[in-house]
């Protein structure tokens, strides 16, 4: 070790530039020596990094795994080489300025430099790990970006505390004890981070929201797909392609709608009604029955109902006591049978055509069913096709759609 030390001292002796005692040198001479040392360190690092990075890049491209590609893209290997200059400079300073009274101050700056570079390396490694995890299907259900960001905060805080303790000459433990008095201030500063972390854990543990989910949150004008869940915010891309940023903790404290259940189910609900003019509802006449029974959709229903009604109406002489087919009732049966014949609907799920409470705008006749197709555009086409047909056939039942008189006058 002594021989190695002597050889290294001889190797660095030319950096003294003829100065026997650095404490007696002028500021210009000292700055010149420091500049030469730094230049050597950066040149050495530049050529070493350029050569080795090229070798590593070739090895990464030849491997089948994607992990090393992600580490290379995140520049982890390149950032590790940034540790060489401060280590080289610190080593050179101890040899050239070993007896100088200010060498310890320079050493502290170099330690801070090394810690900062190490922090960037750790952050790059964490980003690479997060990208690797995101490449697996489980990341959609349980992303780890929240935890990665918490680790980053912890690492950065530890580096800052260590650097401060290095300059003030105190142990990091003593510094942490002193910071206990500022706990309330720190909690105020990191309030969003703490709330976001707790909310993120709850969101992931309870699977309240995942990346790719369609959520609706009117209070934040959010209606679209979740793009990202991190420590502070959840990014939602709305259907108009705008981006809404929601504080993570609001997804726990406020209400929102997650359409994941619909997306994972066997159908997407159709629930829309048509307002029927109450004045157009009436018993069907024999001529109307003969016309409607020509329909293949209604023929079986009408021929099945007529004998039953004749049997129930035996012995009745008043019209008010008789049970008869109504145009609205037959239309409901027609609508149900049209739904059953539609291949785009899931008949294993609830479906019906029902009347709602009559209002000043007529009798709402609601169609309730589930589309097999969930994709938005195709789903809207299925829904529109159903109501296009129902609206078109209503006049054949001598029914009328309710519209405001002003609209009727305008169209007339």
The pLDDT value recorded for residue 96 is 66
Full-model pTM: 0.53
Instruction: From 366, 395, 208, select the one nearest 292 (Cα to Cα).
Output: 395
Instruction: From 146, 350, 150, 168, select the one nearest 233 (Cα to Cα).
Output: 146
Contacts of 320 by beta carbon, 8 Å cutoff, 6+ apart = none
Instruction: From 109, 31, 120, select the one nearest 83 (Cα to Cα).
Output: 120
Tokens encoding 194: 């703490």
The angle at the Cα of 337, spanning 310 to 375, to the nearest 5 degrees, equals: 165
Q: Could you tell me the sign of the dihedral formed by the alpha carbons of 290, 292, 298, 302, in that order?
A: negative
The pLDDT value recorded for residue 222 is 92
| Helix residue ranges, H only, 258-375 | 260-264, 286-292, 296-312, 327-340
- What tens digit of pLDDT does each residue of 253-274 get? 888 888 887 777 888 999 999 9
- Average pLDDT, rounded, for the chain: 80
User: How many Cβ atoms from other residues are within 10 Å of residue 203's Cβ?
Assistant: 21
- What tens digit of pLDDT does each residue of 320-346 get? 778 889 999 999 999 999 999 999 999
- What tens digit of pLDDT does each residue of 214-250 get? 899 988 889 999 998 877 788 999 988 899 998 888 8
Contacts of 208 by beta carbon, 8 Å cutoff, 6+ apart = 202, 251, 252, 258
Tokens encoding 227: 């793009």
The pLDDT value recorded for residue 1 is 38
């Amino acid at each position: 070790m002594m021989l190695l030390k002597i050889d290294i001292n001889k190797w660095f002796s030319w950096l003294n530039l003829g100065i026997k005692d650095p404490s007696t040198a002028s500021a210009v001479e000292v700055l010149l020596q420091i500049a030469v040392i730094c230049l050597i360190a950066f040149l050495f690092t530049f050529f070493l990094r350029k050569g080795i990075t090229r070798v590593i890049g070739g090895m990464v491209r030849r491997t089948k795994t994607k992990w090393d590609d992600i580490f290379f893209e995140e520049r982890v290997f390149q950032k590790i080489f940034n540790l060489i200059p401060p280590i080289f400079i610190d080593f050179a300073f101890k040899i050239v300025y070993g007896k100088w009274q200010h060498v310890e101050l320079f050493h502290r700056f170099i330690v801070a430099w090394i810690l900062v570079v190490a922090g960037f390396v750790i952050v790059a490694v964490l980003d690479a790990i997060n990208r690797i995890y995101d490449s697996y299907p489980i990341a959609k259900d349980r992303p780890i970006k929240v935890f990665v960001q918490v680790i980053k905060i912890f690492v950065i805080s530890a580096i800052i505390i260590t650097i401060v303790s290095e300059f003030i000459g105190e142990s990091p433990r003593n510094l942490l004890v002193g910071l206990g008095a500022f706990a309330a201030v720190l909690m105020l500063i990191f309030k969003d981070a703490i709330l976001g972390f707790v909310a993120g854990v709850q969101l992931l543990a309870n699977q309240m929201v995942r990346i790719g989910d369609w959520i609706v949150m009117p209070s934040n004008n959010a209606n679209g797909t979740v793009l990202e869940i991190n420590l502070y915010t959840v990014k939602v891309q709305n259907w108009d392609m705008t981006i809404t940023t929601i504080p993570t903790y609001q997804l726990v404290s406020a209400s929102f709608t997650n359409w994941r259940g619909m997306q994972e189910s066997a159908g997407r609900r159709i629930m829309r009604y048509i307002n029927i003019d109450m004045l157009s509802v009436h018993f069907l006449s024999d001529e109307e029955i003969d016309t409607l029974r020509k329909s293949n959709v209604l023929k079986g229903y009408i021929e099945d109902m007529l004998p039953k009604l004749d049997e129930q109406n035996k012995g009745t002489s008043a019209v008010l006591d008789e049970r008869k087919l109504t145009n609205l009732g037959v239309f409901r049966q027609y609508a149900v049978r049209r739904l059953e014949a539609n291949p785009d609907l899931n008949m294993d799920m609830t479906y019906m055509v029902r009347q709602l409470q009559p209002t000043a705008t007529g009798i709402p006749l609601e169609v309730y069913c589930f589309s097999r197709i969930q994709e938005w555009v195709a789903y809207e086409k299925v829904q529109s096709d159903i109501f296009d047909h129902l609206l078109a056939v209503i006049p054949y039942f001598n029914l009328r759609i309710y519209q405001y008189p002003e609209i009727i006058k305008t169209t007339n």
